[in-house]
Structures are given as C-alpha cells and as structure tokens.
Structure 1
Amino acid sequence: MMELVNIVATVEMEKPFDLEELLVKLPNVEKAHFWVKAKIPPYNKYTAFYGSGKFLVTGAKSEDELNEVANNVVDYIQKYGIDNTIKNININNRVYMDQLDFEVDLEKLIVELTDYDASYEPEQFPGMNFKDKYDLTYLLFGSGKITITGVKSLEHFEEHVAEFKDLIREKSDI
C-alpha cells in the first residue's frame, strides 16, 4: 500500500524577511550563507528562512499537516514581533513509499533496463535509481521496497507508479 511519508514545500510570505531581524528576535536561530535556520516548537524541525520572504517546510505527512506547520511558523514569528502573513504555499515534492509483492534481483534487472534512465551501483548504494518520463524518481531495493520522489502533482500519479511496477514485473519475468 502506497504511503505519503514527506512533503517539501515553500511558503511564500507577503513581505520579504529581514534576516538580521530574525537573528535578533527569534531564539535558537543560526545564520547560514544566505538564509537563517530556526528550530520552531512544537515540531522542533529546522525551518529555513530566506530574505525573499519564503521559508521551507519539510516532514509533513499530509497537506493538512503542511498547512498546520506553516501556520505554526507564522504564529511563532509573530509572537516575537515579526509581522508577516502567508501569501501562497507551493509543494515542491512529495515522497511516497510503496512495496512490490515480490523481491527483485537488482543485478539482473539493471541489465534488462539498458533502454531506460536507470542505474545501480551496489558498492555505493543498495538500491536501483530509476527516472521515468514523468520526472518521477524511484529507488527500488531488492526487498521490493520503493521510494518515489519528485511528485509535484497527483494527477495520474497512481497510473505512473502502476506503469513502473508493471515494467519491473515484466523485466523481472514475474
């Protein structure tokens, strides 16, 4: 059964951030090269703030949770005197986990996928990397576990994953 495990989104605010103001007013902040990172309770995940007026949210497991986390960040910065409101939330990536109902011999499979954008280098990583024509990236492990990244739109998503799974089944002679 496919499961959403992470959403990465950029929250666009109405006004740019003054990074120096964030450093002075917010507790537990650090300056990185061109951004500021802060640990914001109660989630205690790092949030990256950019001078452009955007911040990054990672780790949400649903769109409702994404909105909750984004609103929590805004409430938090407002509590410290930084007045700004959300203009837009853009989902950059959704990460899903799925599972085939069979194990895969990745060394044999990669030989069958020479006409595809696939790579397998077991000395460096135990999974096969496969990119489909829809710009989805699949990490396939010998256990049959699949991690799917690059999911921006849910339109036809399940069909794309089914296509990938059918290809793997076919090329694995199952």
Structure 2
Amino acid sequence: MVEPTVANVVGTITYQQEIALDALGDTFSRRDEITDVTYEPGENHWLQTHFAPDDTYVAFYRSGKCSIAGGNSVEHFYEVAERVNNVMRDILEFEYEPKVEISNIVATWDTGSPIPLEALTIELGMTQTEYEPEQFPALMYRRENYVILVFASGKLLCTGLTDLDDVTDAIEDMVSRLQAVV
C-alpha cells in the first residue's frame, strides 16, 4: 500500500463580502495571530500574511476570497482555515459559514529504485507523456485532472488532485505501471 508524503495542500476560503484590504492589513498588523503582513497595492492586488503558530501563508483578495498555501496535511489545511475563519469572524462579524475547499494536493513517493524514463515513456504512451531530458529532468505523465512527475531517481510527485485517496490511487496506479519497466 502506497502512503504518499504530502508536500503541500493549497485551498481557498470564500467570504460572502468584499474585503477592504488596506483596513484589513492595518487590523492584522495589531493581531498576535498574524506574524507577517504585506500589502503593496502598486505591486500586488492581494494582502499577504502568515498565520501563527506555524507561519502558514494566507493571501486575501478584495473579492472576498483568500488562499492558503503550505499545509503539510489535509488536517493541517483545515486547522489553518479554522484559525483564519476565527480571526475573520471576529473582524468582519459575519454569522455564515464560509466555503472552504482544497484546490490542490502536492504529494511525493519514493519507489526506492531508479527508473528508466525512456522505457517508461514508451510503456505509458506518447500521448500522455512528455519527456525531454534536455529541458526538464522528469517525465511528465498527464491525466485528465492530475500530473505525475517521474524522476530517474525513483521519486514521484503528484499534483492536481483535491482528495488524498485520489492521490494515493494515482500514485499506486503509476507504481503498478512502473513494474513493467523496472
């Protein structure tokens, strides 16, 4: 059974109102839960923050959305989302439940042995793979809703899925396909 290592969980929270980023930045600069605040409207159209205690990156947009990056597990992502919502509920005084959703899980797996990428390209089929070692050191295996990077070292990286079970299934499928070439 494959148990991938989660490298990053990215997702969003949607608030049902626009957010005045300059005012939010001023408020955040006085809050202990926020370890860093950057708002430079001439350079970026979003407010950048880091939330304590683990300095997880959270960006806020005027539209009422915020994005969270750097979760090291699905549970961690939801814990950060809850912390963000608690702060925002205190500031914006809303009573609804904001929409929280994961948009991407990046996970890795090490097969423990080298992989002949040229042979794997043929095995997987040229229509779903890209392998140009002069430009990028990994084989890219593209499916409808995810990509797996396969490195000659035997390491795999999966991105594009939003459910950890789907990530595990995708990596298990690749591992079974690798058996034909190693």
Query: What's the TM-score bracket when you normalise by the shorter of the two chains?
Result: 0.7 to 0.9
Trace 1:46-125 onto structure 2 (pairs within 5 A): 46-77=57-88, 81-84=91-94, 86-125=97-136
Q: Relative to structure 1, is the Cα distance of residues 156 and 58 closer, same or farther in structure 2, using a 3 angstrom cutoff? A: closer
Q: Relative to structure 1, is the Cα distance of residues 157 and 74 closer, same or farther in structure 2, using a 3 angstrom cutoff? A: closer
Match among 32, 38, 46 for residue 29 of structure 1: 38
Structure 1 unaligned regions, length at least 5: none
- The 4+ residue runs of structure 1 with deviation greater than 6 A are none
Q: Which range is displaced more, 100-109 or 123-132?
A: 100-109
Q: Relative to structure 1, is the Cα distance of residues 46 and 10 closer, same or farther in structure 2, using a 3 angstrom cutoff? A: same
Give the alignment's TM-score, normalised by structure 2: 0.78
The AA in structure 1 aligned to 2:46 is: W
Give the alignment's TM-score, normalised by structure 1: 0.81
Work out the number of aligned pairs and report it. 170
SS at match of 1:146: strand
C-alpha distance in 2 between matches for 1:105 and 1:131: 18
Q: Which residue of 2 aligns with 1:20?
A: 22
Percent identity of paired positions between Structure 1 and Structure 2: 25
Deviation of the 1:78 alpha carbon: 5.7
**RMSD across aligned C-alpha pairs, in angstroms?**
2.5
